[in-house]
Amino acid sequence: MPEPLLRLEKVTVAFDAVEVLSGIDLEVRDGEFVALVGPSGCGKTTLLNVCSGWLSPSRGAVHRPAGLRMVFQQDGLFPWLTVDENILLGLSHVADRRERRRRADALLELIGLRAFVTVYPHQLSGGMRQRVELARALGGETPLLLMDEPFSSLDYLARLKMRWELARILREQPRTVVLVTHDIEEAAQLADRVLVLSERPARVRDEVVLGMSRPRDPTRPEVVSAVHRILTVLGLESDVVSGSSQTLSVPVGPEEME
């Protein structure tokens, strides 16, 4: 079996006396899409910060590839740069100017924003901004993308659309992804594996494997069953399950959202 791309061994993070992560083991293999879900404030983002190297664990070890890129929940685009300049910045490791331009054009094509090259981020919608941020992150040659609730600031329909966009983009530019999300349905629709974290201090309470191609119809029994299982692990099923079945009956593809 090949070496995992990202490996966390018994990672514990404590701020003063408060333990946020407790003995987390995580292995992410090349090409996998792993989602981390858990109660609000349980330490999902802290775990992602440890994965990225922004935060050092109090105990344990982290093995990560070089030059990984992150997509953030809040605006990570530089507002003083245009869409084009932001994407080109993500390609600054490419020495040849023409090649950089060619790759930037390909990324703009990929995210469908060629007409917006001279526009500044504050003039774009939230969904467009996230697509640009994704394109900038994809510009790196890193095989690993870390995504911290990238769609949480979007409205519901935009979130649904972005799931399909992300699935499409990853089909064209495959990457290994670790996604932190509070949206269980999003995790079940996109991830190969969903790790369910406990209340703080976070431990991995369950692992749900979804071996299906993306994007998934949210009404598929396997997806519905995964959502129910995650909700059960989180102790929320009795409160949410009736609502979730209603939620899951909404659009399955972007064309149905037009």
Partner 1 sequence: MAQPATKTGNPLLALVTPAVLIVVWAVVSSARLFPPSLFPHPWDVARGVWFELKSGRLVNDAIASLFRVSAGFLLAVILGVPAGLLLGHSARARAAFLPLVNFFRSLSPLAWIPFAILWLGIGDPPAIFLIFMAAFFPIVVSTTAAVANIPSVFFRVARDLGIGGPRLLSAVTLPAIAPQVITALRVAAGLSWLVVVAAEMIAGRDGLGFAVWDARNGLRIDLLAAAMLVIGVIGAALDRLLVQLTRIPSVRWGYER
Which listed residue (11, 128, 147, 197) binds partner 1 by CB under 8 A? 128
What is the spatial distance between Cα 177 and Cα 249, in angstroms, rounded to a whole number?
A: 26
Count, residues in the chain? 258
Residue placing its CB nearer to partner 1 in the complex, 88 or 197: 88
Stretch of 2-10, 95-103, 119-127, 155-163 contacting partner 1, by CB under 8 A = 119-127
Site membership for partner 1, residue 92 (CB under 8 A): yes
H or E element, residue 220: none
Residue placing its CB nearer to partner 1 in the complex, 121 or 215: 121
Q: How far is the CB of 10 from partner 1 (least distance, A)?
A: 25
* Sheet strands side by side (includes 176-180): 69-71, 144-148, 176-180, 33-37, 193-197, 204-209
Phi, psi of 25, rounded to the nearest 5 degrees: -110, 130
Q: Name the residue with tokens 């149905």.
A: 256
Instruction: Tell me, residue by residue from 13 to 52, as one string, x for binding to partner 1 by CB under 8 A and - for no binding.
Output: ---------------------------------------x
Q: How far is the CB of 133 from partner 1 (least distance, A)?
A: 9
Instruction: Tell me, residue by residue from 48 to 87, as one string, x for binding to partner 1 by CB under 8 A and - for no binding.
Output: ----x-x------------xxxx-x-xxx-xxxx------
Tokens of 49: 């910060």
* DSSP-assigned states of every residue in 85-139: HHHHHTTTT---HHHHHHHHHHHHHHHT-GGGTT--GGGS-HHHHHHHHHHHHHT
Site residues, partner 1 (CB under 8 A): 52, 54, 67-70, 72, 74-76, 78-81, 89-90, 92-93, 116, 119-125, 128, 137, 140
